[in-house]
Every structure is written in structure tokens, then in C-alpha cells.
Amino acid sequence: MSSQYERELRKLLEELDYIVVRSAGSMGEGDLVVLDPVAEVLPHIIEVKSVKGDVYYSCRTDTDKEQYTHMRKKQEILDGIEYLYAVRFKGQKSLHGEPLNKKWRMYDPRFDHIFRLGGGTELFEHW
């Protein structure tokens, strides 16, 4: 099911003219690699998650905790490459035709491991 959201986010980012590579079954290195074809910046590595409700706990299971710890360590080692979580809040209703990107929030794992609907940044604010 998460592959559906990986493809959804990929499409949203490609509409903004980013180059996006999907790494299916990544198991720790991120689901999407995002490159800006204009800016001279290093890529963004994105781990895509979805949750029904308004909170995602990145350390709920041992596997999630291991992945979170791995991302934090990689971000410390690889200076300039930004590791991010993109969380799709599935249970949220769109208001008055609100665009799909409003259901996505971006989170930096260096600052917290509990991602709330009201926290992070909106998808297009980050990019």
C-alpha cells in the first residue's frame, strides 16, 4: 500500500519539475531520491510513510526505530544530503477542494521522531 503513496508523492514533485527516482523496497536508504535540476544542491533522500490519524511515530516498531536511527546517522555523516520523512495523513478530508499536497507533511528526523499533522512543513513550503 505504501507504494501507492510513493507514486503519489513522486507525481506531485515531478509536477514541480524535480527529478525523482523511486527506490522500491529500499529498506533503509529512503524511498525517493529527489534532485533539483536547476539549483546546485545535493539530493534529498525521502522516506515515505502513511498514517490514518494525525500522528506518526517513527520508532513504534523495532524496524521503524532501526530505520530512523539509520537515517539520523547517515544525515550526520553525509553533510549536505537532506534525509526527510514525508508523511501522508490518510484520514484527513480535503476542505473545499483543497489540493492533494495538503495531505502531506515533511519532517526532518534530526529534530523529532513523533510527527504530528500540525508539525513539520507543508510539501510545497519545503520545496
112: phi then psi, degrees, rounded to nearest 5:
-170, 165
Number of separate domains in the chain: 1
Query: Do 85 and 58 touch, CB atoms closer than 8 A?
Result: yes
Average pLDDT for 8-14: 92
**Strands 82-89 and 44-51, sheet pairing:** parallel
| pLDDT score, position 1 | 46
pLDDT in tens, 87-104: 888 865 555 555 566 788
Q: How many CB atoms lie within 10 A of CB 37?
A: 7
Q: Among 111, 76, 105, which Cα is nearest to 88's?
A: 105
Q: pTM (2 decimals)?
A: 0.80
pLDDT in tens, 33-58: 999 888 877 888 999 988 888 888 88
| CATH code of the domain in which 45 resides | 3.40.1350.10
The overall average pLDDT reported for the chain is 81
Highest mean pLDDT: which of 6-20, 31-45, 50-64, 109-123? 6-20
Q: Provide the residue range defining the domain that includes 40.
A: 2-126
